[in-house]
Every structure is written in structure tokens, then in C-alpha cells.
Amino acid sequence: MSKIDWERWFRALLILFASAALVIGLAAVAVIYFTVRDAADAANAMARLKVVLSYEILILTFFYGLMVLLYMAGGEIDLSMLLSESKGTDAQGNPLYGASMSRFQLLIFTVVIALSLLMIIIANGATKFPAVPSEILVLLGISASTYAVGKGIQSSGTGSGGNGGGTAGGTSTSGGGSAATSSHPAPTPGPGK
Amino acid sequence: MDLLTKLATIEAGLLVGGYFAVVAYKLVTGEISLAGLLHTKEPGGRAAFSPVRLQLLIFTVAVATLYLGEVIARPRQDSLPHLALGVVVALGVSQAVYLGGKVASAYVQPLLRNQR
């Protein structure tokens, strides 16, 4: 399917989901208002409002999340550079990109911690949010700091006078085989706005 | 578990699982490029295999696998599993080595080359 088709398809989906969220939200308000009865406190309007708002937030969050998911899956949200960082330039001065170890590590840890959290919540019957030990925060902090410091080294190394570009502090980009064989050139921009 | 909690859990599972599935699919198909993950750029622009990156990858995968294994083995807990201090320190050292390598290639190598 071409990019134009995807764009049309996603626009239609966007309108459909927004309309569905509104209709479902209003229906939820009506149904819950007229049907939900708190046995202990039937006349408590605030309790009912809380339930209605909870369902409404749940529905809206789901549709927004679903739209982001569909856009990611369809390529409207371009993920091709998710793990890439600048690796300097080739002989013609075109920027080169390669996968970044620190980005990859941050992705792995994020996935593992998020899945662990979800599994524990489900296993405990979603009764409460589990505590997060300080070592996990330290682990994520180390990982994120490495990414940030790596970025700093990369940009200051690139900007250092007369030494040319390059993540690894490349000097002159001239010379035999100047293009890093494992790096790839900057991709063309995705269809996203 | 009341209906709202059940729905919220299902929603979180679907969305989080969906996001990770999309990223995993794109990694497998190559849409998210992993080219150059274990390589560093040498002076002259050539890509060279980097043992420092390899050790960081091994540490990362090992720690992540162990942690996930522990959660899968005992999911009914009040908190996320604790991580041994030694593991955190080892990972910190691993990161420090990686950053040291980056600093060396960004500052020390050009300096030495300029002195020659």
C-alpha cells in the first residue's frame, strides 16, 4: 500500500476513533448515571461522577494509545532512527548514522522494567501499584546518564576545532574508505508531518 | 477485581504489549537499523569492531534476562524484585568503560595524532 493510501486510511481512522470515543463516552455517562447504584450510598452524586470520569478517562486513553500504536505500526511515526546516532560524515560531507549502544541499552531496560511492572500488577490482581526499589532507579539512572554523557562527548568531539566530525572523534573525513562500512546514511524523512 | 480495574489492566497490557511488539517487529525486519551497534568509527572513517561495546551488550542482555526471569518465576510480589548491589556496580563499571572508550577516541586519539 502506498504512502498516500496510508495517510488517507489513518485520517479516516483518526476521525472514526475520535467520534467513537465521544459516542462511547456519552453512552458511558448515560448508562452509568442511570444504572450504577452504590448500595451503601446510592444518592452520592460525587461517587457516581468518579465512576463516570474513570470510565471516560479509560476510554479516551485507550483510543489515544491505539492511534499512536497504529501510527507507529504504519510508519506514520517514523521509528527508523530510534536506535541511531550520528557517526560523522562521509567523504562527500553527507551525515552517517549507526546504531547507538546506549540507546539500545535504554530501550532494553525500559522494556524489561515496564513488562515486569505489568506482570506484577496483573499477578497481584491489580490491587495496588508495586514499589520500585532504589536499585532499579539507580540502574535506569546509570543507563540514561550514559546516553546523556555519550551525547555530550559526541557533540563536543564533533565540535572540537579542526578535527572534523565523528562520534569516535574522527579526524579528517578524507582518505581511503572514509565511509564507515557499518553506518548508514541519513534516511529520507518519513511520511509523518 | 472490579470491572474498571479489569478493563484498565487489559488496556495497559494491550497498549504496552502492542508498542513493544511493533518495536520488536521493526527490529527484526530491519526497519529499525542495528547496523554498527558493535562497531566504532576509526580515524579515516573505517568501522572497526569494538570489544568495549560487546562487553556492554553482554552485561545489558545478561542483567535484563536475569531480571525478567526472576519476575516470571515469582510474579506475586509487593514490589519489583531487588537487584544485587554487585550487579548494579558491575553494570556501572561496564558503562564507565564504554564511556572511557568514547572519551579516548574523541579526545585522546586526535591529540596523540596531532602531536605526531
Q: Is the pTM of this model over 0.95?
A: no
- A170/A176 Cα distance (integer angstroms): 14
User: Which of A83, A109, A178 lies nearest to residue B45, judging by beta carbons?
Assistant: A178
- A31/A18 Cα distance (integer angstroms): 20
Beta strands across the sheet bearing A84-89: A84-89, A95-99, A184-185
The C-alpha cell at A42 is 446510592
A86 lies within 8 A of chain B by CB? no
The C-alpha cell at A112 is 524489561
- B50/B46 Cα distance (integer angstroms): 12
Subunit contact B72:A118, Cβ cutoff 8 A = no
Listed in sequence order, the residues at least 6 apart from A19 whose beta carbon sits closer than 8 Å to its beta carbon are none
pLDDT digit string, tens, across residues B57-88: 998 999 999 999 999 998 888 889 998 888 88
What per-residue confidence (pLDDT) applies to B18? Answer: 95
What per-residue confidence (pLDDT) applies to A169? Answer: 35
Listed in sequence order, the residues at least 6 apart from A50 whose beta carbon sits closer than 8 Å to its beta carbon are none
A39 lies within 8 A of chain B by CB? no
B83 in Cβ contact with A133 (< 8 Å): yes
A155 lies within 8 A of chain B by CB? no
- A65/B12 Cα distance (integer angstroms): 9
pLDDT in tens, chain A (193 residues): 566 677 777 778 778 877 887 887 787 777 767 766 666 655 566 677 777 788 888 888 888 898 899 889 888 889 998 988 877 777 777 777 888 888 899 899 999 999 999 999 988 887 888 999 998 999 888 888 888 888 888 777 654 433 333 333 333 333 333 334 445 555 544 444 3
